[in-house]
Structure 1
Amino acid sequence: MSQLVKNLLCSYVKALQPYQSARRLYSGGQDWLNANESPFANDYQLDSSKLNRYPSCQPSSVINAYASYAGVKPEETLVSRGADEGIELLVRAFCEPGKDSVLICPPTYGMYAISAQTFNVGVEQVALNDDFSLNTDAMCALVGKVKVVFICSPNNPTGTDVPAAQIEKVLNAFADSAIVVVDEAYIEFSSAQSWASKLAQYPNLVVLRTLSKAFALAGIRCGFTLASAEIIQALLKVIAPYPLPEPVAQIAAQALTDESILHIKQQIAILDQQKGKLLYNLLEMPQFEQVGDSAANFILLRAAQREGLMNYLVSQGILIRDQSKQLNLQDCLRITVGSDEQNQRLLEAIQRFYQSEQA
């Protein structure tokens, strides 16, 4: 780092450790099973006649379609560059830098903390219980001390749904003092009911959604924030002028047609079948123990010889995610459910590694 950058860089940015995304950690691989992406790639059409114009900030074709899909009103819907931008907007709109804090419940998605730290906003932590449910008593002890509460359900990386009664308790406790964000990036893989239907009941409730997972569109970076019209209007004050590129808007609108949604549901059913098969085969091996649950498109396992196994899989072009640095996830690996062929190559590689270690 040059002396100029050292002198000018914000103090809180100097200490910031960036989020280690799948692409930052590894630049190559044959089987990407470390980013919770879909193995499916669907076809879409692009109309280039509009590419010479700036896009709409909130294109009605996308807003109306997603509002209908989620069962909310268009005025309760905001579209952004992935749900990650939704997280950032909430921090920027509701937290004073150097003064306010957010609350997270590790082990959970790392961008909640990093988004806050990027804007010099504090981070309070209340660890999940041993069964990965919320420690609601400890959370409620922070009423008046935080402005935004992040709850991931289904949770990444534990794959667990947060019980509805626990979320209700937190919503009620923070009713007059904080926004409560329920991140539902993986809701399509869960049997739990979405919180989107509760927006009118809880004015401080915000729901995050994405097209990256079940809709197999991680590459277009399109996410949604669902909240009261008042909260949406506050976020529109801090969003970029043109957050959604025209090609992204076109693809998102196509993905949200009735025909496409039916196709996506069929793909989800296939992935659920593949997940059950993969989990069964892995748990047949004595070296693995399931951790958490499987209410998402990934599974979390505690693995014998974790580091050696990770290194071997990388050498074979198979990339999964090491979660062992997360709180209470020692020796844990997260595996995205891939295609049948990818899952089979993974299983064969794991078997080869443990057989070689026993030889």
Structure 2
Amino acid sequence: MSNLIDKLICENLKALQPYESARRIFAGGDSDSETWLNANESPFANDFNIDTEHFNRYPDCQPTSVLLPYAKYARVHANQLLVSRGADEGIELLIRTFCTPGKDSILICPPTYGMYAISAETCNVGIERAPLQADFSLDMSAISACQGKVNLVFICSPNNPTGTTIDKAQLKQVLELFADSALVVVDEAYIEFDAANTWSTELAAYPNLVILRTLSKAFALAGLRCGFTLANSDVIQSIMKVIAPYPVPEPVAQIASQALSHNGLKKMIEQVEYLHQQKQSVKQQLSQFPELELVGDDKANFILFRHPQKQALMDFLVANSVLIRDQSKQVSLDNCLRITLGTQQQNEKLLALMASFFKQQEISA
């Protein structure tokens, strides 16, 4: 770092390590030759139509063509909804709106999604941690100790990377515990894989409840960068004070509205069901491999497992152009790898390579 940059960069950013997204770790890959099972993306690429007639005009800040159908889908009022550039922007907007830099803090429950902490660090906001218990349930004692210390509580359910859903009774406890002191943000990025456990119908009951959603997972639109924040209208209006003037590009709005149409929703449900079927098949076959332990639950579009030879297995898969995700740096997830569910063909390729790896280990033992 040059002397000038070292002098000018924000103090809180000097030691910050950026989030290691799947694309940063394996940048520039050729998707035709590699099997991407590392980013919890959908394996499906659906077709959409684009009208270029209005590309010369700035887009609506909150396009009704997206806002209204998503509100209907999520069973909320339009004034309880905000569209953003992915749920990641929703995380940052919440921190920027409700946390004063250098003064306030958020609470996270690791192992969990890494962007809560990264966004807080970027904004010079403190981080309190209440690690999940051994069964990946909330540690209510540790969470209670943070009452009055934080402005936002982030809880991912279904949780990435454990695939577990937080018990409703526990979440209700958290909402009540922080009723007068913090917003409780339930990240439902994977809720289409566990639809019965959504909190979107509880906004009226809990004024401090906020929900994050996305089109990146079940809707197969990770490349679109379209997410949603669901909350009571006073929360939404506060966030609108800091959001960019044009957060939803016109092509994004067009594609999102098509994905939220009757046919789009029907296709999403069919693809989610396909991935559920693949998940059961892959889990059954994984359980046959020696020393492999399935970890957490399967309420999302991925499977987490532990193996003592995780690094050798990971290296073997990468060498054979199959990419999965190493989660072993996270608390309580030593030797853990995460597989995103792909098509049957992609899953069979992965399993065949794993079988080959374990056969080689058996021979060399």
Q: Which amino acid aligns with 1:313?
A: L
Q: Distance in 1 between matches of 2:39 and 2:19?
A: 13
Alignment of 1:281-296 (within 5 A): 281-296=285-300
Q: Distance in 2 between matches of 1:287 and 1:316?
A: 22
Equivalent position SS for 1:50: coil
* Percent of aligned pairs sharing the same letter: 60
Q: Distance in 2 between matches of 1:220 and 1:12?
A: 30
Map of 2:8 onto structure 1: 8
Map of 1:323 onto structure 2: 327
Map of 2:263 onto structure 1: 259
Map of 1:81 onto structure 2: 85
The answer on 1:160 being equivalent to 2:164 is yes
Q: Which amino acid aligns with 1:103?
A: L
Cα deviations across residues 21-74 of structure 1 (Å, max 9, x unaligned)?
A: 000001226110000000011000000001000111000110001000000000
TM-score (norm 2): 0.97
Q: Which amino acid aligns with 2:304?
A: L
TM-score (norm 1): 0.99
Q: Distance in 2 between matches of 1:48 and 1:113?
A: 38
Map of 1:125 onto structure 2: 129
Identify which of 171, 175, 183 aligns with 1:171: 175
Identify which of 58, 61, 64 aligns with 1:57: 61
- Check the 8 A contact 1:108/1:155 in 2, yes or no: yes
Map of 1:115 onto structure 2: 119
Map of 2:216 onto structure 1: 212
Q: Which amino acid aligns with 1:20?
A: E
Q: CA deviation at 1:191?
A: 4.9
CA RMSD of aligned residues (A): 0.8
Q: Distance in 2 between matches of 1:284 and 1:308?
A: 18
Q: CA deviation at 1:119?
A: 0.4
Q: CA deviation at 1:259?
A: 1.4
Q: CA deviation at 1:168?
A: 0.3
Cα deviations across residues 49-106 of structure 1 (Å, max 9, x unaligned)?
A: 0100011100011000100000000000000000000000000000000000000000
Map of 1:19 onto structure 2: 19
Q: CA deviation at 1:354?
A: 1.4
- Check the 8 A contact 1:159/1:299 in 2, yes or no: yes
Equivalent position SS for 2:330: coil
Equivalent position SS for 1:149: strand
- Check the 8 A contact 2:289/2:358 in 1, yes or no: no
Q: Distance in 1 between matches of 2:89 and 2:353?
A: 37
- Check the 8 A contact 1:191/1:295 in 2, yes or no: no
- How many residues matched? 359
Q: Which amino acid aligns with 1:2?
A: S
Q: Which amino acid aligns with 1:287?
A: E
Q: Distance in 2 between matches of 1:219 and 1:303?
A: 32
The answer on 1:227 being equivalent to 2:231 is yes
Q: CA deviation at 1:219?
A: 0.4
Q: CA deviation at 1:163?
A: 0.2
Q: CA deviation at 1:239?
A: 0.3
Q: CA deviation at 1:258?
A: 1.1
Q: Distance in 1 between matches of 2:219 and 2:256?
A: 9
Q: CA deviation at 1:332?
A: 0.3
Cα deviations across residues 113-155 of structure 1 (Å, max 9, x unaligned)?
A: 0000100000000000100000112101211100000000000
Gaps of 5+ in 1: none
Equivalent position SS for 1:68: helix
